[in-house]
Structure 1
Amino acid sequence: TQALANVTYGPEGLAMMASGLSAEQTLEKLLAGDPNHAHRQIGLADKNGGATAHTGGECNGWAGHKIGKGYTCQGNILTGGNTLEAMAEAFETTKGELADRLVAALLAGDTVGGDSRGKQAAAVYVVKPNGGYGGNNEYYLDLRVDDDPDPVNRLVKLVKLHHFFFGTPKAEDLLPIDSKIATEIQTVLKRLGYFRGNIDGQWDETTRAAFWAFCGVENLEERWSPDKHPELLDRVVLEFIRERFAQQ
């Protein structure tokens, strides 16, 4: 919800849809109970792919919304309707997970005009069952950039970092840790003080323990652990090590 926001729309709307109401039914009930609905702007999407939106006649222009299959985008005080057109196209055509499509839409809208007042903040919030750190809550991704001259591009970078630090390896990216890779890792670990043994290219228990300590400090536990594929290494982790530590 935005414009002259009614922040109760969020929790109340979610509760209504959780009870079985569609997005359209929920919107109808929310607006019926709000005497200031002409000043409100709201978008809803339900679990069945339904989506709807409302832009009150008193919202500051340019104001409007665009509804697509399973999504809606809306804005007020925009430079024009092309902002929403660009957002919708980016959301529909971008590959990747929901967070990637959301920030792609933000970036597209920002690029063609966005908010007529300028730029200041951007945020993305995604929940899914067991989506949080360690699978222990539903808060998969909750990122924001406040008071920044280029907030959307900063947000795009944060989403990429989130994918790296909290993502899990893809099967096609797992590499066998041969003697060459083991030597490379031992060299870095020894330079950083994690490994005190001989650099011999052996991926033994001592080396794995040192690497696990390194992973703990660098927040790479989701990418490698001694209990999951200990003889394999995520390609993106190896690239991270090479870019950040190999030349130190």
Structure 2
Amino acid sequence: MTFSIVARSADGRLHGVAVASKFLAAGALVPAAEAEVGALATQAHVNLAYRPQGLALLRTGVAAADVVAGLTAADPGRAQRQLGVVGASGDGATYTGAECHDWAGGQAGDGWAVQGNILAGPHVVDAIRDAWLGATQPRFAERLVAALLAGDEAGGDRRGRQSAGLLVVAKGAGYAGTSDVLVDLRVDDHPDPVRELRRLLDIHTMLFERPDPATLLDLDGELAGEVSRLLAEAGYPVGAGGVDGALASWAGVENLEERIVPGRIDPLVLAHLRART
């Protein structure tokens, strides 16, 4: 009922799962991940116990292939299960039970595992693999969604489309540095869920991603004057806190607080301010 990719970033810092299915809210069931530990996808006849059990094994340093072997060996329903696992290092691993509905199968390599069932054919898995390995997207989450979209465009779930999900974790990378969950997005019921997931990820990137220091602009001179004028037009005149204080107040209302850097301005924030006023 599902196709997914489980992967680790090249530097080993990020782990994630992207999934799509002709099934309600697949993103609520399939993925699990823990920062600096690994990630997994349980699908076909989902076994939710695989999620905590699999992460517990990965936490102790068990290799992905051995996690798959251990989980499935202890499961009397393994013939109807499908599982993908990636650990903190090494190759990923994938498993497809003999009773999964055709077409079902998977592939795995260094830091990734791709699997699917009730697919249009094996070319769906090939497309996801090729998109992952040949990706040019600089951001890990975008790369996962691009790989998922390649599978969707190759035929995906042969029954149609309904839901998609994306989970990405990294140590301290969550909102305001208060969690390890960098991205957790779901499209539970939609006619084109993977493209909707990509749209949501674009919004998430704008609102929650920290700015690239190399792109920041100094908030002085003519630019500071323009920003002050725009803020005043938006109802946030510069006061005792200076331009930084007014900008921070405005950004908090616009949900852009993660992109605020004292004394400088993110070009994305500047563009948003200009567009708003």
Give the structure-1-normalised TM-score.
0.89
Aligned partner of 1:245: which letter? R
1:35-74 aligned within 5 A: 35-74=76-115
Runs (5+) with no aligned partner, structure 2: 1-41
Q: Which runs of 5+ in 1 are unaligned?
A: 198-203
Q: Does 1:90 align with 2:121?
A: no
- Please tell me the residue identity of whatever aligns with 1:33: A
Post-superposition Cα deviations, 1:23-54, rounded to whole Å, max 9, x if no partner, equal: 11111111111112111100111111221111
Distance 2:110 2:210 in 1: 29
Alpha-carbon offset, residue 68 of structure 1 = 2.0
Alpha-carbon distance, 1:196 to partner: 6.9
- Tell me the number of residue pairs that the alignment of Structure 1 and Structure 2 aligns: 235
Matched to 1:232, the amino acid is R
Residue matched to 1:193 = 235
1:20 positional shift: 2.0
Is the counterpart of residue 4 in structure 1 residue 28 in structure 2? no
> Counterpart in 2 of 1:237?
269
Shift of 1:63: 0.8
Q: Is the 8 A contact 1:38 1:57 kept in 2?
A: yes
| Residue 132 (1) aligns with residue 174 (2) | yes
Deviations 1:193-229 (A, max 9, x none): 11177xxxxxx843332222101101222111xxx4x
What amino acid maps onto 1:89 in structure 2? D
The match for 2:163 is: 121
More strand per residue: 1 or 2? 2
The residue type paired with residue 175 of structure 2 is Y
Matched, 1:103 2:139: no
Paired residue secondary structure (2:257): coil
Matched, 1:184 2:226: yes
Do the aligned residues in 2 keep the contact of 1:173 with 1:236 (CA within 8 Å)? no
What percent of counterpart residues are identical?
42
Higher radius of gyration, 1 or 2:
1
Counterpart-to-counterpart distance in 2, 1:131 and 1:205:
28
Say whether the 8 Å CA contact 2:228–2:238 is kept in structure 1. Answer: no
* Distance change >3 Å, CA 136–CA 93, structure 1 → 2: same
Q: Deviations over 1:125-166 (max 9, x none)?
A: 011111211111111110011111111111112112222211
2:251 to 185, 209, 215: 215
Give 2:26's aligned residue: none
State the TM-score, normalizing by the size of structure 2: 0.80
CA distance in 1, matches of 2:162, 2:144: 18
